[in-house]
Structure 1
Amino acid sequence: MRTSRIIAAAVTVATLAFGTACGGGDEKKTNAGGSSAPTSAASPSPTAREVLDKAVKDLNSSTYTYTMKIAEGTFSGAADPAGKHQVKADGVISGVKYTIEGIVIGTDYYFKTSIPASGVNPKKWYKLDRAKVTKQEIIGLLEEKDPTSSQQFVGRVGTAKQESPTTITGTYDLSQGGDLGVDDSAVLAALGEKAKAAPFIATLDAQHKLTSIKITIPAYGTVSEQTMTIDYAGHGQPVTVAPPKAADVTPAIAAVYSLLNS
């Protein structure tokens, strides 16, 4: 299952390193009696889908921090449309924990990892020459302006219902694969039609800023129900993305580029 590009790429690179080293319509908000909320001809109430669409689009035009928890691991960071990004991914391969970190400030790229690779110091930040990185899997993630794939979310929503001013529930299509989807054909076959209608809950704050998305992957075969959760915070607040301390930085060596380009 691939639920985010950063985790997927991290798992791919880590596995290689370890191997060598070791649809439907929206429902409008209802009042306590279950009838449609009053609307005026001039200003109709937005549908749940419209509220959700605005909330995710607002992410793309503002600063925020995020934490995403999925079966493959956890990643967190900060995003700024002005070109500052910080990413940290934590995962487990064959029972061994690993971390991948990246910082991008304008044209300066820094990379750090605990993946065991000959010559790579897990305590050092490596300053990269972007031109020497030929594969996009990891470097592209450090550059990603939409690290949680929020802008793709509404397009995969089947049904949406506004349960309260700050809660939207509905169904989400996992069958398209890719980010926040399922790429494994065997898993999709086992899920069947359930893959096209995975339950989700989106939570907003009082200003209708997105604060969390929780998608439930239904149980299939002998595999229990799983969840993916993305939490958002710091909307519009200054993003503190600073370069590592100079004493902790060294120019990237061949072993680092080999890992990134593997």
Structure 2
Amino acid sequence: MKVRRLSAGLMAAALFTPGLAACTAADDGPAGSSASPTTAAPATAPTSGGPVDGSAEQALLDSTREISNGNFRFTMSALGSTTEGQVHEPSQSAEITVRIGEPGDDLAMNLDLIHTRSDSWVKVDLGGAAAGSVPGLDKLNLGKYQHLDQSRIKGDRNLGFDFDKVDPAGSDVLIQGITEARRTGDGTYAGTLDLSKAAEAGSLDPATITALGGQAQAVPFTAELDPQGRLSELVLEIPAAGQVAAQQIRMTYSDYGNATAARKPPADQVVEAPPELYSLVD
């Protein structure tokens, strides 16, 4: 029997840290063992940072400027989880959908989030044969949006959204950690990043960075820019570390300037979030 060992807290923690799913995937082996990655490409062994191509580095640094304007669609994916959504700064709103778990897992979670500057809502769907063991399941799987108390999610990496830092993946933080960069083609780049300087990037779990130790200082990456020089894809090849399997974390950006305002859920589809929801992410 395949069991994805996702405690309630760990599942929610994967909301903005797709890499965390790799820490929680397991087959029938002992608790804490990692499943062999099936979708992630093997990570290249880190090497010492070579000379940085100044023009390549500058192009990559410039590529994230448009993201800060907060009008784009994005995706993040890693072993066992996917996140996609849109940010629309003009209306101070964002929509994010998270899928944690894979077909056949005994426990999986879907989250649909809507954020405005003053309000946030989440619809939760816990599924799989083991979902019944999650405390308060009947108060979570309501098929409705649960209104979140802003005072309880302010600064929360899992349920909150910071409109002053509009990129959930934190690509600008990642790219500022370049230790080696080179142009590989028309709009394509490769090199290494120092992840030890990027713990605030939403696409990474700080615990994974710690587990990587010295390997975190030279993690291979590839990047693609669109014809306007804006970041369209960033891929990190995370090496294996301890119980964490090697994995690939992929971030994409599209529709710059063409996102739309998030729609607030209808009042008849909203309930106040119960204590069990906040406990899920404590």
- State the Cα distance separating 1:91 from its structure 2 match: 1.2
> Which residue pairs with 1:84 in the alignment?
93
Matched, 1:136 2:162: no
- State the Cα distance separating 1:258 from its structure 2 match: 4.4
**Partner SS, residue 151 of structure 2:** helix
> Which residue pairs with 2:207 in the alignment?
183
**Partner SS, residue 153 of structure 1:** helix
Task: Normalising by structure 1, report the TM-score.
Answer: 0.73
Q: Which of 146, 151, 156 is residue 126 of structure 1 equivalent to?
A: 146
CA RMSD of aligned residues (A): 3.4
Q: How many residues align?
A: 229
**Partner SS, residue 160 of structure 2:** helix
- State the Cα distance separating 1:230 from its structure 2 match: 0.6
Distance 1:134 1:54 in 2: 30
Q: Which of 46, 52, 56 is residue 48 of structure 1 equivalent to?
A: 56
Further displaced range: 200-209 or 224-233: 224-233
**Partner SS, residue 238 of structure 1:** coil
Deviations 1:212-239, CA, capped at 9 Å, x for gaps: 0011123568976421101111111132
> Which residue pairs with 1:248 in the alignment?
269
**Partner SS, residue 123 of structure 1:** coil
Task: Normalising by structure 2, report the TM-score.
Answer: 0.68
Distance 2:75 2:152 in 1: 30
Deviations 1:2-25, CA, capped at 9 Å, x for gaps: x977237997xx9xxxxxxxx654
> Which residue pairs with 2:74 in the alignment?
66
Structure with higher Rg: it is 1
Matched, 1:97 2:108: yes
In the superposition, relative to structure 1, how do residues 110 and 9 fare at CA in structure 2: closer, same or farther (>3 Å)? farther
- State the Cα distance separating 1:183 from its structure 2 match: 2.6
Distance 1:70 1:205 in 2: 22
In the superposition, relative to structure 1, how do residues 200 and 10 fare at CA in structure 2: closer, same or farther (>3 Å)? closer
Matched, 1:172 2:193: yes
Q: Which runs of 5+ in 2 are unaligned?
A: 1-12, 25-48, 127-133
**Partner SS, residue 99 of structure 2:** strand
Asked if the contact 2:174/2:195 (under 8 Å) is kept, the reply is no
Distance 2:250 2:17 in 1: 14
2:61 partner letter? D
Deviations 1:38-95, CA, capped at 9 Å, x for gaps: xxxxxxxxx1111111111221114111110112511111112332111122113974
Asked if the contact 1:216/1:226 (under 8 Å) is kept, the reply is yes
Q: Which of 52, 68, 73 is residue 26 of structure 1 equivalent to?
A: 52
2:64 partner letter? V
Q: Which of 175, 182, 186 is residue 154 of structure 1 equivalent to?
A: 175
**Partner SS, residue 166 of structure 2:** coil
Deviations 1:153-207, CA, capped at 9 Å, x for gaps: 2221111112223101111123446333663478425xx4x43222111101111
**Partner SS, residue 176 of structure 2:** helix
**Partner SS, residue 112 of structure 1:** strand
In the superposition, relative to structure 1, how do residues 209 and 130 fare at CA in structure 2: closer, same or farther (>3 Å)? same
> Which residue pairs with 1:32 in the alignment?
none
Distance 2:273 2:244 in 1: 42
